[in-house]
Amino acid sequence: MKKILAVVLCFMLLVSGAAVLAGCGTKTGPKDNGLTGSDVSGGWTKAEAPEITEAFRAVFDKATAALTGMTYVPVAYIASQAAAGTNHCVLCKIAATVPDAEETYALVYLHEDPNGAEITEVKNSAVPAAPSEKAEGWLSPESPAVPEEALGALTKACETITGAEFNPVALLATKAGNETGYRLLCESRATVPGAETEYVILTVNTDPQGGAAIAETAEFAPEQLAEIANPREEYGSSMESLAEAEKAVGFSLTLPGDISPENFVVISGEILEVDFSGGYLRKAAGSDDISGDYNEYSVTEAKTPAGKAVTLKGSGGKIMLALWAENGYTYCVGIADGLGEADMLALADAVK
């Protein structure tokens, strides 16, 4: 569960059955600012920098390629661990693939070995992720690297804090105005011998007089993954399964003849999804984008075959996503490896 704590009061530490309060501060030297290659507890090694590299993005895409029901967007690389391959810890924006689902920040753990890569654990913070935060004035930074001004604000804010120390790892969002703000992923460690390092998200506010304060802190909890991932109900791959899924959503679906369904899924009682080898298609009432695909494609174009307005998205000469709405329903087709434009339009035309 998300925990919002009044950090300005203190961190209560339970040690040997007694509450122990000790000094607190940030480590601001270049070796200990959370961005070095020094060891973390549990055999984890901190990343030298939090940027998502192209090499790791390829690993991450491999781990999430077959997943449906949730979207995962990596924003900062945190740490690695050698374990019959490599374990990775990365901060992501996650959301259920349902209309109006809110993105939140989560720690995603995945394992990579010569046989592939897969997600092994997700710890959600329930903290809204930019651009969901825009209504409150928060914006995503161009880079997750922690700038000097954010480090200075955190150092200033910790001058009156006791019981724990914080090391900034990644910048998540910034806010400008009379009161500037920084949302930071930080290492948190109780200032007692043998205390373990945990990750928290801190919101640090500053004022025109040069003051700074930690407004709130949020922890990560693994149990929230189940709460988010539950919207999907699987029915199977038979035509009888399709009939049951259609009954659940209250509308019918006509499939292209060359698609062999592997699973019919109902999401939140509103979206009918068909999973097939190499892709999926969806239908729901309304006109919203129900694709759950937040990737940035180099090509986005609108086509109107036979009067149907279809938005195509893709890259590298291939179309990976088709979106359209007609007769009160919204549709999408997603193909992992992409299709030629004509083939994708033909596929979209056959879905009713």
Q: Which helix (H) or strand (E) holds 265?
A: strand 261-267
What the block records as the tokens of 194 is 């043998």
For 153-196, list the strands marked E by DSSP: 164-175, 181-190
Amino acid letter, 249: V
Stated length of the chain: 352
The C-alpha atoms of residue 243 and residue 14 are separated, in whole angstroms, by: 55
Nearest to residue 76, comparing CAs of 151, 153, 130, 113?
A: 130
How confident is the model over 5-44, as pLDDT tens digits?
A: 333 323 332 222 323 223 333 333 222 323 233 334 457 8
Q: How far apart are the first and last CA of the chain?
A: 41
Q: What is the pTM of this model?
A: 0.56
Task: Answer positive or negative: Cα dihedral of 187, 226, 203, 151.
Answer: positive
Phi, psi of 167 (to 5 degrees): -115, 120
Q: Report helix, strand or coil for 336.
A: strand
Beta strand 164-175 pairing with 138-139: antiparallel
Q: 3-state class of 197 per DSSP?
A: strand
* pLDDT per residue as tens digits for the range 148-191: 999 999 999 988 888 888 999 999 989 876 678 899 999 988 88
Question: What pLDDT, on a 0 to 100 scale, did the predictor assign at position 31?
Answer: 26
